[in-house]
Amino acid sequence: MLHIIVIGVWVMLLRLMHRFEVKYSTRILLIGLLLVMFGIFALYSISIYESFDQTLRRAQVGKRSGDPSNFFYFNKQLVNIIKALVVVGIAYFIPIKRIKDQRVIYVIGIGAVVLQLLVFTPIGIDLNGARGWLYIPGLGNMQPAEFFKIGFVIFFSGWLIRKAHFFRDTSLYIAMAVMLGLIGLLFLAIPDLGSMLVIAIVAVIMAIYAGAKFKYLLMIAWSGIALALMTVLVMPGKFGYITDRLATYTSTTKALEDKQGSYYQTYNGLVAIGGWGFRWQWYGKGLQKFGNIPEAQSDFIFAALSEEIGLVGNLFIIALYVLLGRYSIIAIGDMKDQYSKILWIWLISLILVQAFVNIGVNVALLPNTGITLPLMSYGGTALMVNMLEILLLYKLIERK
């Protein structure tokens, strides 16, 4: 019931913003805040089983004292929000013009690569089969791939601006293919195919907007797909989970027979989303969250929450992401600086592409990628970077 009340209040607020012509920068901040609020409400409800299981296992191995808790992920997300707000508060006072400086762009790009490469050193941590984490004192386990996305956005935007007059030269596309290929190999080595997919899609969107020829971009895309498939086939031991996910996605028979395997998440997610039709279980009464949807607090938060807020709630969440896109299209028309426009398109594309890939996975339109729902899913690094992206969108409009 709480979600329905919140939806009603925020629908009224959105109408008031439209009526009184609130600035688009303020609207974007409010939508970002609303998505974070919806995420924390969702975690309070749907993460109770995963929280109890996590704290129980920690207590059994001596990593936790006291009784198991139903609110482990909820409490940690509150801490994550506080940390993210501190970082965003510091970033607010950095003038946007400094980010546009060519030297700063190169420093950010190199720094993002170095940070990502650190996961292959002894300080890198292997979690859930992916060596893509670092432990940073005071911040905990951090995922450099999230910072890499925003660093790559800033660098590649500047690179496209400087190379815009070479879009008729095939050497530019060769350089772009080499750059994206090296990034692809880096994420294959982790492995983190979800991040690689998002970066690739956003890179194509950005290059098209900047004026690149579509036929060359299409050739780069197909070459990248072919390289990735060859790598997976040559190293089945390391990437067997990918072929397994693709097999369950492309074969309905195998998917239905594999309810306890790689299709387990998707199958139960579909039960949560579509099992009640237009009805819902109301807030806190969902059943699939009790062990039937693994990682309900992160990858499959949309599916787990669907059972509680129903079709109305789902459409409202999707509408918020659509409004982010709509406000962006309107706001970009007032920008004079080409770099600001390209950086803006990059940032909003990162959020929207990841959001709709995640939702596509939850409703079985796409294979399982392991990426989270921006601003809503549990996660420290991802939430921090998503909030930084919203802040940058705000600052680009306000020219601060």
pLDDT at 81 (0 to 100): 92
In terms of pLDDT, which residue wins out, 160 or 6?
160
3-state helix, strand, coil in the chain (%, to 5): 70, 5, 25
pLDDT at 321 (0 to 100): 92
Q: What average pLDDT does range 104-131 have in this prediction?
A: 79
Residues 163/169, Cβ–Cβ less than 8 Å: no
| pTM of the predicted protein model | 0.85
Spatial CA neighbour of 377 closest among 108, 146, 207, 157 = 146
As a whole number of Å, the CA-based R_g of the chain is: 21
Neighbour-count burial for 232-268, b at 16+ CB within 10 Å, e otherwise: beeeeeebeebebbebbbeeeeebeebeeebbebbbb
* pLDDT at residue 368 tops 70: yes
Per-residue confidence band for 400, with pLDDT thresholds at 50, 70 and 90: low
Q: Where are the alpha helices (DSSP H) in 20-165?
A: 24-46, 48-60, 72-92, 96-99, 102-117, 144-162
* Residue 376 to residue 45: CA distance in whole angstroms: 13
**CB atoms < 10 A from the CB of 161, how many?**
18
DSSP 3-state assignment of 295? coil
In this structure, of 19-33, 97-111, 234-248, the range with the lowest mean pLDDT score is 234-248
* pLDDT at residue 52 tops 70: yes
Sheet holding 130-136, edge to edge: 124-127, 130-136, 140-142
* Residue 53 to residue 47: CA distance in whole angstroms: 10
Residues 367/249, Cβ–Cβ less than 8 Å: yes
pLDDT at 148 (0 to 100): 87
Residues 127/298, Cβ–Cβ less than 8 Å: no
Query: Tens digits of per-residue pLDDT, 329-347?
Result: 887 777 777 888 888 888 8
Q: Which residue has the tokens 């299409």?
A: 218
| Residue 283: partners with Cβ closer than 8 Å, 6 or more residues away | 1, 2, 3, 4, 41, 45, 308, 309
In this structure, of 137-141, 258-262, 292-296, 354-358, the range with the lowest mean pLDDT score is 258-262
Residues 182/196, Cβ–Cβ less than 8 Å: no
